[in-house]
A and B are shown apart, each in its own frame.
Chain A
């Protein structure tokens, strides 16, 4: 069975601080895909990144970066120099080659204060 754990329920930071959101996953499949989605106050789920299990390279996109480590089954997300607009709920998710359905973590609510 697949499982995604986001242990941090809520994080509060002050603008310009760096913040890391943790994601730990479980799967027995050798081919799988990891995702991060952002849910701003408006409610929609916005796709941020997709990573497949064969690509452990870290990814950087502007102020966002992702650290994928198979050895610890983690796919952590770091926001550098956070901004108020980063305030949202962030979801980590997993699916596999054989199963399309996404398994989500419970989400981490990030509040960035000015």
Chain B
């Protein structure tokens, strides 16, 4: 069974440009999460999809970040326009949808974003 995949693995862009990150969850996982780790700090939650709906977007830093999950399959995270402080590693995770509380989240390899 394929794990969570993310594309691209690395992205280097200039301040003010737009970048779109993609995440393909494990097949059958209705929960999809985005997290970010800024250099040297903890991994922080950005948002949570249940199928195509945003369940929790309390971690999104500002309106320059737009996440979508059309059709409830893969998800994209767009940063527009990118700022220097957006640099970091963006992780995607997925888990099955259970009735009795959250299940284990399985993570992708991450996308390392560098904004110059």
Interface positions of A (Cβ within 8 A of B):
4, 31, 33, 35, 37, 42-47, 50, 91, 93, 95-97, 99-107
CA A4 – CA B44 in complex, angstroms? Answer: 12
> What per-residue 1/0 map shows which CB atoms of B88-111 lie under 8 Å from chain A?
010101010000011011111110
Q: Is the CB of B107 within 8 A of A44?
A: yes
List residues of B (63-116) whose CB comes within 8 Å of A's CBs: 89, 91, 93, 95, 101-102, 104-110, 112
Of the residues B42, B59, B107, B110, contact of A47 by C-beta under 8 Å: B107
A1 CB, min distance to chain B CBs, angstroms: 12
A-B interface pairs (CB < 8 A), number: 64
CA A48 – CA B42 in complex, angstroms? Answer: 18
For B112, the chain A residues whose CB sits under 8 A away are 43
Q: Is the CB of B42 within 8 A of A97?
A: no
| CB pairs A–B below 8 angstroms (9 shown) | A43-B89, A44-B107, A45-B91, A46-B107, A47-B106, A100-B33, A100-B55, A101-B48, A101-B59
In the complex, B7 has a CB within 8 A of chain A: no
CA A37 – CA B105 in complex, angstroms? Answer: 10
CA A103 – CA B102 in complex, angstroms? Answer: 13
Overall SS of chain A's interface: strand
CA A101 – CA B48 in complex, angstroms? Answer: 7
Q: Is the CB of A106 within 8 A of B104?
A: no
For A100, the chain B residues whose CB sits under 8 A away are 31, 33, 48, 55-56, 95, 102, 105
Q: Is the CB of B101 within 8 A of A33?
A: yes
For B33, the chain A residues whose CB sits under 8 A away are 100-102
Q: Is the CB of A102 within 8 A of B35?
A: yes
In the complex, B43 has a CB within 8 A of chain A: yes
Query: Please, which residue of chain B has its CB at the minimum distance from the CB of A37?
Result: B107
Q: Is the CB of B43 within 8 A of A91?
A: yes
CA A107 – CA B109 in complex, angstroms? Answer: 17
B97 CB, min distance to chain A CBs, angstroms: 10
CA A15 – CA B95 in complex, angstroms? Answer: 35
For A31, the chain B residues whose CB sits under 8 A away are 101
Please name 6 further chain A to chain B contacts, defined as beta carbons within 8 Å, in addition to the given A45-B110, A47-B105, A97-B101, sorted by A numbering.
A43-B89, A43-B112, A91-B43, A95-B102, A101-B45, A102-B33
